[in-house]
Amino acid sequence: MMPLICEIVAVGTELLLGSIANTDAQDISRGLAEAGIHCYYHTTVGDNPARLREALRIARERADIIITTGGLGPTCDDLTKQTVCEAFGVPLELHPGTWERILTFFRRIGKPVTENNKQQAMVPVGGMVFENEWGTAPGCGFERGGLSVFLLPGPPKECRPMFENCLMPVLRSFSGKTIASRNIQIFGMGESAVEDKLRPLMERSQNPTLAPYAKEGEVTLRVTASAETREEAYALIDPMVKTVKTLLGSVIYGVDAASLEGVVLDLLNRNNVRLAAAESCTGGMVSSRLTGVPGASKRFVGGVVAYAREVKENILGVERAVIDEYGMVSEQVALGMASGVCRVTGAELGLGITGLAGPGGDGSDTPVGTVCLALFDARDGSSHTLTRNFGDERGRIRTMASLTALDMVRRHLTPSRVFLDGGVSSVV
Amino acid sequence: MMPLICEIVAVGTELLLGSIANTDAQDISRGLAEAGIHCYYHTTVGDNPARLREALRIARERADIIITTGGLGPTCDDLTKQTVCEAFGVPLELHPGTWERILTFFRRIGKPVTENNKQQAMVPVGGMVFENEWGTAPGCGFERGGLSVFLLPGPPKECRPMFENCLMPVLRSFSGKTIASRNIQIFGMGESAVEDKLRPLMERSQNPTLAPYAKEGEVTLRVTASAETREEAYALIDPMVKTVKTLLGSVIYGVDAASLEGVVLDLLNRNNVRLAAAESCTGGMVSSRLTGVPGASKRFVGGVVAYAREVKENILGVERAVIDEYGMVSEQVALGMASGVCRVTGAELGLGITGLAGPGGDGSDTPVGTVCLALFDARDGSSHTLTRNFGDERGRIRTMASLTALDMVRRHLTPSRVFLDGGVSSVV
């Protein structure tokens, strides 16, 4: 069977003015690749019927599937549905379920329904309707002379879930193949170092394939395989995941894990210990990441954002003499913060982070980007400290310091044998 | 003079696979709008000469200017320059300056130069060369039969500065017009409420135009005008900004301000006071936002992430009886946290935030999404408290609670007459 070809047509003047990036095309393209459907062109047009017709004329000559995004809303700019259906000679009809939902919504907020709102409830006769659980305008689709056309809403928060939940099953059934993947998550090794280590493996692997993606201080390796069933695809993937674990070892923090902070909270649960954080240069980022995970309150008690020197001294009890002798950015102060936050919160584990995020220096000879980190374990009084330099960009310094602190907790709570034999642990 | 029309053609298989979003098109589109050049289509193609030729054939029929991005690197995938120059019959020649720069680079890193590297130093005969100070591959441009073609590198870190520094001056000289805009920043009024209030103004305004954009709990109104000079454009914009201020009043927190937290830090500076934050459900987000601003340490002393009840009691000194009587999520506890954090840090202003971010409830009858906030002013012992419900989505609840807390500080430090007369203040 020849692979199917899809073209994505985004509709929205805001895209042509550069107000937003076309992330819908990215989301949909990823799904098409996963479903084994080729995509040769993305096109973006404004809220202009003539130019949309022109884009559709070109797309129908070179694609089996057209997916449009945007222009399904209630305002007069939103002309995608009318224009597409006219172009393909497909009449519209009122969809009672959607119309009822819109009426109920307006009754609830106590506002009158306008003719424009009714437009949202019109759908192609004989086509599919995708109920919009994430917004107002439903998506829809139809088939005409061997060409399949699907219309999705523009806002990424509506487009993405509707694409994944409603359209992806249809696309998978078109291609008859299943593509599955696992993400191996890495912290503490850069993208090029990962590539260097894995190049021979990446070059000889066809199915599954192995591709690295860098994201904010982390690297994700995606292992993707294509097969008749999901089970067969995973049977191809899992031995590759095992090989990668053997090659990379302890820099791997998870496989298909939600996030590094999620892995840390999971380890805290398994070890039945609570964590607190004393943050200076990261200013609450570690706490904010941890508390972003539902249920964090069971294991993360909170902490102190010790931005000013007085806070370090008065709340955390870091000794003035230690600060004077070693400097504000020192492993000694980081450790004083870590043990101090355990003392004042009663947590078993404490993190201390002090550093210079710039742009300016602090008057000492400590270079911008220097961060000292400490992890204190109140159960036995043990500690780890380390010093890193994360460059000269404030945002990156703070992010890298936050991730490094979380990774210290992960390493502290992970039995080392898990990584020495490169095998599968209960966490990784 | 008729406005010029530009088409952006992005080249890169990684875009069609969804590995990255086409942010280059967004950056360039913004610049085109600013230069008064229309953009009717964006097209994306893969690293495939035949399909790139097809995209160029279509683009040259409907545009005066074509800008391509991507495919200028040294690998065999990078075919944009050859394909574009062949398509327009423009021969290439070696650019001695670029070639010398590449040779120097390889001498320095001690690696041999390959034939592929030489390809990067080839430029269109009689065209423009944009030296790449941000990477290796230079950009270039040429003119053929009234059509201008420009080729920029794909990586956003190279594309963006080369576009701004090298191509924007050329585009401005083409159009002879300048487009300027100001962003009016709003917190505390939703996008549809803003539109309702401003609809008559938006409908009758042609130059400047007025367009709202929603972003994570905030709304930005962009006022855009086109004129011969920047000064003339701003002369059209500024009366409109004044009118909007009169209509919307105190929900406007800034005009072209960096962020709400930036405005808050500016107000703390002007008032010569220091702020501390005691955060429960926001778990460090307020602190993290404030410390993201360079120089925050002057006015933000830090705070306490009081996630667990013991932290609220032990560090912040919130009385057990108050928690028992009013519940953990109450204005009384928020106020206890706000005054407590002032006491332990010595800051003049303290924020207290306690709420239920979900997904589950806390066993009491407080609904998920409820957040109580307090601002305490230690200078005179005054305070403000409020209770809000921010819905049922954890991320949104935390973001809205953080922004609302920052906005309480802004309102507290802003003289109210500024907003009552709708006039221009030193801050807004």
Sort out which chain A residues have CB atoms less than 8 A from B285's CB and list them.
284, 288
Mean pLDDT of A52-75: 93
**Positive/negative CA dihedral, B396, B402, B406, B411:** positive
Window B:195-214, CB contacts with A under 8 Å: 213
Looking at the structure, do residues A160 and A297 belong to the same domain, yes or no? no
- Whether residue A294 and residue B358 make contact (CB cut-off 8 A), yes or no, is yes
Question: Which residue carries 């993305």 as its tokens?
Answer: A42
Q: At what angle do helices B394-413 and B260-271 cross, to 10 degrees?
A: 30
CB A290 within 8 A of CB A303: no
Q: How many other C-beta atoms can be found within 10 angstroms of the C-beta atom of residue A266?
A: 19
What does the DSSP 8-state code read for residue B165?
I
pLDDT at A392: 81
Structurally, chain A folds into a number of domains equal to 3
Chain B closest CA to A289's CA: distance in Å? 8
Final residue in a domain of this structure, among B232, B255, B278: B255
Chain B closest CA to A26's CA: distance in Å? 4
Look at residue B91 and tell me if it is in a domain: yes
Domain of B168: which CATH number? 3.40.980.10
What does the DSSP 8-state code read for residue B5?
E
Measure Cα distances from A267 to A147, A289, A416, B206 in Å: 51, 15, 14, 59
- Whether residue B287 and residue A283 make contact (CB cut-off 8 A), yes or no, is yes
Sort out which chain A residues have CB atoms less than 8 A from B360's CB and list them.
294
- Whether residue B26 and residue A40 make contact (CB cut-off 8 A), yes or no, is no
3 state DSSP class of A68: strand
- Whether residue A306 and residue B302 make contact (CB cut-off 8 A), yes or no, is yes
Rounded Cα distance between B139 and B153, Å, is 6
Question: Which residue carries 């009552």 as its tokens?
Answer: B420
Look at residue B25 and tell me if it is in a domain: yes
Bridge partners of B149, per DSSP, are: B66, B142
Rounded Cα distance between B244 and A369, Å, is 43
- Whether residue A291 and residue B308 make contact (CB cut-off 8 A), yes or no, is no
Residue B7 at interface with chain A, using a CB cutoff of 8 Å = no
Sort out which chain B residues have CB atoms less than 8 A from A290's CB and list them.
283
Confidence of residue A423 (pLDDT cuts 50, 70, 90): very low
Containing H/E element for A213? strand A209-215
pLDDT at A77: 63
Expressed as residue numbers, the domain containing A88 is 5-175
Residue B10: closest CA among B20, B31, B25 = B25
Window A:394-423, CB contacts with B under 8 Å: 394-395, 398
Number of H helices and E strands in chain A, helices first, is: 17, 17
Bridge partners of A210, per DSSP, are: A223
- Whether residue B18 and residue A31 make contact (CB cut-off 8 A), yes or no, is yes
Rounded Cα distance between B171 and A176, Å, is 48
Please give the single-letter amino acid code of residue B66. I
Residues A205-215: pLDDT tens digits?
A: 888 988 877 77
What does the DSSP 8-state code read for residue A399?
H
Rounded Cα distance between A425 and B20, Å, is 32
CB B408 within 8 A of CB B375: yes
Q: Helical H runs in B2-48?
A: 13-16, 23-34
Sort out which chain B residues have CB atoms less than 8 A from A35's CB and list them.
none
Looking at the structure, do residues A158 and A23 belong to the same domain, yes or no? yes
Which of B288, B312, B316, B349 is the best substitution to test chain A (most A C-beta atoms within 10 A)?
B288
Look at residue A427 and tell me if it is in a domain: no
Residues A86-122: pLDDT tens digits?
A: 999 999 999 998 889 888 877 876 777 777 778 888 9
Looking at the structure, do residues B144 and B28 belong to the same domain, yes or no? yes
Q: pLDDT (tens digit, 0 to 9) for every residue of chain B, 428 residues total?
A: 578 999 999 999 889 989 889 999 999 999 998 888 999 999 999 989 999 999 999 999 999 999 999 998 766 567 899 999 999 999 999 999 888 988 887 787 777 787 777 888 899 999 999 988 777 789 999 999 899 999 999 989 889 999 999 999 899 888 777 778 899 999 998 877 888 889 888 888 888 988 887 777 898 898 988 888 889 999 999 999 999 999 999 999 999 998 999 999 999 999 999 999 999 999 999 999 999 999 998 999 999 999 888 888 989 999 999 999 999 999 999 999 999 999 999 999 999 999 999 888 878 888 999 999 999 999 999 999 999 998 888 998 999 999 999 999 999 999 763 433 333 333 33
Rounded Cα distance between A318 and A341, Å, is 10
Residue A39 at interface with chain B, using a CB cutoff of 8 Å = yes
The maximal CA–CA distance of chain B, rounded, in angstroms, is: 84
Q: Which of A41, A282, A359 sits opposite B44 (nearest CB)?
A: A41
Residue A283 at interface with chain B, using a CB cutoff of 8 Å = yes
ipTM of the complex: 0.74
Question: Which residue carries 């993606």 as its tokens?
Answer: A213
Measure Cα distances from B323 to A123, B328, B334, B339 in Å: 54, 5, 10, 15
Name the phi and psi angles at A232, rounded to 5.
Answer: -65, -40
Measure Cα distances from A21 to B20, B21, B273, B369, B418 in Å: 11, 7, 40, 31, 36
pLDDT at A424: 32
Sort strands A5-11 and A38-45 into parallel, antiparallel or unpaired.
Answer: parallel
- Whether residue B302 and residue A311 make contact (CB cut-off 8 A), yes or no, is yes
Residue B391 at interface with chain A, using a CB cutoff of 8 Å = no
Rounded Cα distance between A67 and A83, Å, is 14
Residue of B nearest to A316 (CA): B315
pLDDT at B417: 37
pLDDT at A422: 33
Chain B closest CA to A420's CA: distance in Å? 33
pLDDT at A428: 30
Question: Which residue carries 């409603």 as its tokens?
Answer: A166
Looking at the structure, do residues B155 and B209 belong to the same domain, yes or no? no
- Whether residue A310 and residue B51 make contact (CB cut-off 8 A), yes or no, is no
Domain of B200: which CATH number? 3.30.70.2860
Rounded Cα distance between B412 and B406, Å, is 10
pLDDT at A371 over 50: yes
Look at residue B423 and tell me if it is in a domain: no
pLDDT at B302: 94
Rounded Cα distance between A224 and B18, Å, is 14
Window B:301-330, CB contacts with A under 8 Å: 301-308, 310-311, 314-315
Look at residue B409 and tell me if it is in a domain: yes
CB A261 within 8 A of CB A289: yes
Looking at the structure, do residues B389 and B272 belong to the same domain, yes or no? yes
Looking at the structure, do residues A33 and A146 belong to the same domain, yes or no? yes
pLDDT at A426: 33
- Whether residue B33 and residue A17 make contact (CB cut-off 8 A), yes or no, is yes
What does the DSSP 8-state code read for residue A137?
S
- Whether residue A26 and residue B33 make contact (CB cut-off 8 A), yes or no, is no
**Positive/negative CA dihedral, A29, A30, A35, A38:** positive
Sort strands B300-306 and B252-255 into parallel, antiparallel or unpaired.
Answer: unpaired
CB B49 within 8 A of CB A68: no
Rounded Cα distance between B122 and A101, Å, is 61
Which of B13, B261, B305, B312 is the best substitution to test chain A (most A C-beta atoms within 10 A)?
B305
Residue B72: closest CA among B17, B107, B124 = B124
Containing H/E element for B201? helix B191-204
Look at residue B387 and tell me if it is in a domain: yes
Residues A221-261: pLDDT tens digits?
A: 989 888 888 899 999 999 999 999 999 999 999 999 989 99
- Whether residue A307 and residue B285 make contact (CB cut-off 8 A), yes or no, is no
pLDDT at A416: 62
Sort out which chain B residues have CB atoms less than 8 A from A296's CB and list them.
283, 307
Domain of B268: which CATH number? 3.90.950.20
For chain A, give the number of residues.
428
Task: Kindly state the tokens that stand for A78.
Answer: 């939103």
Sort strands B92-94 and B122-124 into parallel, antiparallel or unpaired.
Answer: antiparallel
Question: Which residue carries 């065209």 as its tokens?
Answer: B127
Looking at the structure, do residues B229 and B334 belong to the same domain, yes or no? no
Final residue in a domain of this structure, among B175, B191, B215: B175
pLDDT at A75: 67
- Whether residue B302 and residue A305 make contact (CB cut-off 8 A), yes or no, is yes
- Whether residue A302 and residue B304 make contact (CB cut-off 8 A), yes or no, is yes
CA B330 to centroid of chain Cα atoms: 34
Chain A closest CA to B123's CA: distance in Å? 27
Look at residue A419 and tell me if it is in a domain: no
| Pairs across A and B, CB distance < 8 A | 239
pLDDT at A216: 79
Rounded Cα distance between B152 and B130, Å, is 9
Positions of E strands within B32-188: 38-45, 65-69, 92-94, 122-124, 128-130, 139-144, 147-152, 178-187
Residue of B nearest to A292 (CA): B395
Residue of B nearest to A280 (CA): B302
Q: What is the mean pLDDT of chain A?
A: 89
Looking at the structure, do residues A109 and A66 belong to the same domain, yes or no? yes
Rounded Cα distance between A72 and A77, Å, is 9
Looking at the structure, do residues A247 and A306 belong to the same domain, yes or no? no
Measure Cα distances from B201 to A74, B100, B204, B205 in Å: 20, 57, 6, 6
Residue of B nearest to A29 (CA): B18
Looking at the structure, do residues B280 and B330 belong to the same domain, yes or no? yes
Looking at the structure, do residues A24 and A71 belong to the same domain, yes or no? yes
Looking at the structure, do residues B244 and B294 belong to the same domain, yes or no? no
Rounded Cα distance between A117 and A103, Å, is 9
Q: At what angle do helices A230-248 and A191-204 cross, to 10 degrees?
A: 130
- Whether residue B398 and residue A297 make contact (CB cut-off 8 A), yes or no, is no
Final residue in a domain of this structure, among A200, A222, A255: A255
Residue A21 at interface with chain B, using a CB cutoff of 8 Å = yes
Look at residue A428 and tell me if it is in a domain: no
Question: B204: exposed, middle or buried (C-beta count within 10 Å: 0-12, 13-18, 19+)?
Answer: exposed
Rounded Cα distance between A296 and A309, Å, is 28
Chain A closest CA to B315's CA: distance in Å? 7
